[in-house]
Each structure stands twice: as C-alpha cells, then as structure tokens.
Amino acid sequence: MSDIKAIEYKIFEKIKYRDENGTEYWLARELVSVLGYTKWDNFQRVIDRAMLACKNSGFEVADQFAEVNKFVEMPTKPRKSNEQEIGFPDIGKTKTKAVIDYRLSRYACYLIVQNGDPRKELIALGQTYFAIQTRRQEVQDYFEKLDEENKRLVIRGDIKQWNQMLAETAYKAGVIDEKEYARFQNAGYMGLYGGEAVEDIHKRKGLKPKEKILDFMNSSELAANLFRITLADEKIKKENIALPGKAIHAHNIVGQEVRGAIKRAGGILPEDQPTPEKSVERIAREQIKQLKKKKNLMFDE
C-alpha cells in the first residue's frame, strides 16, 4: 500500500470501533457523511440493497447490519401553554430523539460501498479499503446455490454498477450526447442479439413503455449482457479509443464476440431465452419488504 493510500484510508480508520471482544465495526450514521451522502434517505436505500446482497451471499443480515438506537438532540419549537410534549424530556430548546442507526461489520461496509454510487470518489476508495478477497470466493460458491430469482438479483446489481462505469468510459471516448450514447448502447445489443436494438428487444418481450429490458431477463441472458458490458469497457480502455464512432463500433464487435462464444459453446442465444413474468425490480421490492419484517437485534448506544 502506498503512503498516499495509507493516508486516504485513515478516513475510514478514524470512525472504526472495537467491541469488548476486539471485533471491529462502523456506525452507519458516521459512514454516511464519510462516503459523501448528504441525505440519510438516499443512504438508507444503499443500505437496503447491501442488506439484500448480504442475504444472497448466505450471511445473516442481523449479524452484519445490527440495528441500534442513536439518540440525537433536535431543536424544538416554542411550546404554547396548552401543548404537551410527549415522549421527550423538557430540555429547553432541544429534545432528545431516537433515530435508526446500524452497527456495521467490515463485510457490511464492503457491501454498502459495492452498492453505492461508483462515481463518488470516496465510494471508489471505500471499495478498495473494504475489499475482502476471501469473501469473493465464498460469494461465488454460494451463488451457484441460489434460486433463479436471487441469481437475477445478483447479476442485475452487477450490471447496474458496470453500466455506470461503461457510460463513463464511453464518455471519455467521445460518446457525449444522448443520441450518440443511444447509438452506443444499441450497437452492443445489436451485436449480441443478431441485429436487434433496444427497441426491438423491448417489443419482442412485450414490455410496457417504462419497463426496462434488463429487468425482464433470466439469469443466463443477464450473464451474457454482463459479459458484453465488462468486455466493452475493457476493450475501449485497452485500445485507448478516443472517437465516438470507434467506441460504437467496438461495442458492436464485443457483442458479436459474446454471441459467437455462446454459439460455439452450444448455448441458448439471448433472443431465444424465455422472458420472466416478474421483473427484477419487483423481486427486490418483495425481498426488501420481507427483510424489514424481521426483527433485528437491538443495541442501545
């Protein structure tokens, strides 16, 4: 680790705690500001996705994301003589309020930064800091045991992250305006789907106008697209492509190469894969709702 990186990583070390057994942990209310989030509601959505990823990795959510009470001082409005303040002590111009917080394991923090906005510089730094190499193999082993719905959730989450990175790579290559980016995306799909563009795939699947084609792919079709996206990102960077036309062409070529690999392996081509009835978005909402019903172990600070 370089000296510069060591200094940068101290931002995470400063908010690290150890319990009586020497186990390290972090508090979500402190991590949120370090990672550059200004609104707790936005960070809570990241935590929700991380908790779902934790479940799909085979770990107990409550062990990694222990819900705790955090008491904060909140300003109060002057009370009228006929009003009563219930549940808070009368401490003048402030009142004590309990808010939700999480006691996070290192693995929980790792999942949070993996599900955060990769465009945030501190998220990228956190991804390196919290990376646990031994977990990757465990997650891969457990992935094979997942049912189809949970496999779709995992791969769709990876695609979301990689698509954001591919968009930045394309931008640096000169794909700047929306029309160019639409051509860039279509080029990749057309290579992989034998000439079908996004609109064609959307129509073939019988989706509603606002429904996303990636949300209505099975795990095999999603895996083919993830392969396309990661290879396209690598090709554009490796070849130092700096013209939009060349970037669009490169994406199409990568799509064709992935399609060719599927054919050579005797696999099912993406356009021949069945379309699931339930979207990935709906599956995620249902599972997050189930997770929130579970009672987590509470720790008072």
Sheet order of strands, 24-27 included: 17-18, 24-27, 94-104, 65-75, 299-300
pLDDT, residue 8, reads 66
- How far is residue 250's CA from residue 253's CA, in Å, rounded to a whole number? 5
Q: For residues 219 and 152, is the Cβ–Cβ distance under 8 A?
A: yes
Using one digit for the tens of pLDDT, what is the confidence trace for 14-39? 999 999 988 889 999 999 989 989 89
Q: How many CB atoms lie within 10 A of CB 82?
A: 5
Which residues face 108 on adjacent strands? Answer: none
Q: What is the mean pLDDT of residues 44-50?
A: 94
Q: Are 202 and 217 in contact (CB under 8 A)?
A: no
Tell me the pLDDT of the chain averaged across its residues: 85
Helix/strand/coil for 295: coil
Closest Cα to residue 258, out of 214, 227, 293? Answer: 227
Nearest Cα neighbor of 57 from 112, 113, 137, 139 is 139
Q: Regarding predicted confidence, which is higher, 287 or 292?
A: 287
Spatial CA neighbour of 102 closest among 134, 144, 133, 64: 64
The model's pTM: 0.62
Least confident of 74-83, 225-234, 270-279: 74-83
- Read off the tokens for 113: 């930064």
- pLDDT reported for residue 200: 97
On the question of pLDDT at 134 being above 90, the answer is no
Which stretch of DSSP H or E encloses residue 101?
Answer: strand 94-104
Q: Which CA distances in Å does 201 have to 33, 205, 228?
A: 41, 6, 16
- Cβ atoms 211, 276 nearer than 8 A: no
Position 301 confidence tier, pLDDT thresholds 50, 70, 90? very low
Q: How far is CA 138 from CA 112, 131, 145, in A?
A: 18, 13, 11
CB 11 within 8 A of CB 96: no
In DSSP terms, 299 is beta-bridged to 68
- At residue 300 the predicted structure's pLDDT band, cuts being 50, 70 and 90, is very low
Per-residue model confidence (pLDDT) at position 186: 97
> 3-state DSSP call for residue 281?
helix
For residues 229 and 234, give the distance between their C-alpha atoms in angstroms, rounded to a whole number: 9
Tokens 């429904």 correspond to what residue? 211
Segment 139-148 shows an average pLDDT of 80
CB atoms within 10 A of CB 129: 18
Percent residues over pLDDT 70 in the chain = 83
Q: Which pair of structure tokens corresponds to residue 274?
A: 């069945």
Separation between Cα atoms, residue 67 and residue 69, nearest integer Å: 7
Mean pLDDT over 181-190 rounds to: 97
CB 155 within 8 A of CB 219: yes
Rg (CA), the chain: 23
Q: What does each C-alpha distance from 144 to 148, 151, 253 come to in angstroms?
A: 10, 8, 30
